[in-house]
Amino acid sequence: MDSFNILPRFTGCLIHDFWKPYLKYDTLHALCNAHLLRELQSLHENQNQPWADDMSNLLLNILSFTQKYKDTYSKLTEYFKKTFIDRYRYIISKGHEANPVINTPASNPIKRGRPKKTKAQNLLHRLDTYEPYVLAFLHDFTIPFTNNQAEQDIRMIKVRQKISGCFRTYSLCR
């Protein structure tokens, strides 16, 4: 990632899918909420996690509210921010209640190392620990909700390369 010398010199807000190597760069970070919404939808549909649906609805409500609000104002008032953040934290606490981390006693270890966490526990940890990155669009209207536009732009370049023959494989069949 450093070889192109783009990310090391980047000074804007890096919106990403929480691939850990991105966090080593000293810049502002925001998590792509489209990625989070897909994870939340999967948890709700496949593992019957009601808090995940609540979090999805909250993120979409915040997005809708900020889009309406930014037409008139340059930033959100502290009252509205606090209201949304309190709701966000409440939903996370409900998620933690539904997905408690089970610690094995040290006197009777079943396996060495950290206990494996479920997908729900990992997502809750990420939402809890990296709250400012998830809600960056709430605090700064210039930060988009997702990085989908950038991904779509890159995807078109990759598709064109593939169509033009850059990714062709050669067969050894005779």
Q: pLDDT (tens digit, 9 = 90+) per residue, 149-160?
A: 555 555 555 555
Residue scoring higher pLDDT (100 or 115): 100
Q: Give domain status of residue 40, yes or no.
A: yes
Using CA atoms, how far apart are residues 122 and 127, in angstroms rounded to an integer? 9
Q: Give domain status of residue 147, yes or no.
A: yes
Domains: count for the chain: 1
Q: Give domain status of residue 172, yes or no.
A: no
- Res 174: pLDDT: 45
Range of 23's domain? 7-104+113-164
Q: Give domain status of residue 1, yes or no.
A: no
CA 115 → CA 33, 80, 93, 101, 125, distances in Å? 28, 38, 21, 9, 14
Q: pLDDT (tens digit, 9 = 90+) per residue, 56-70?
A: 999 999 999 999 988
- Res 122: pLDDT: 94
**Strand, helix or coil at 124?**
helix
Question: 16 has which bridge partners?
Answer: 31
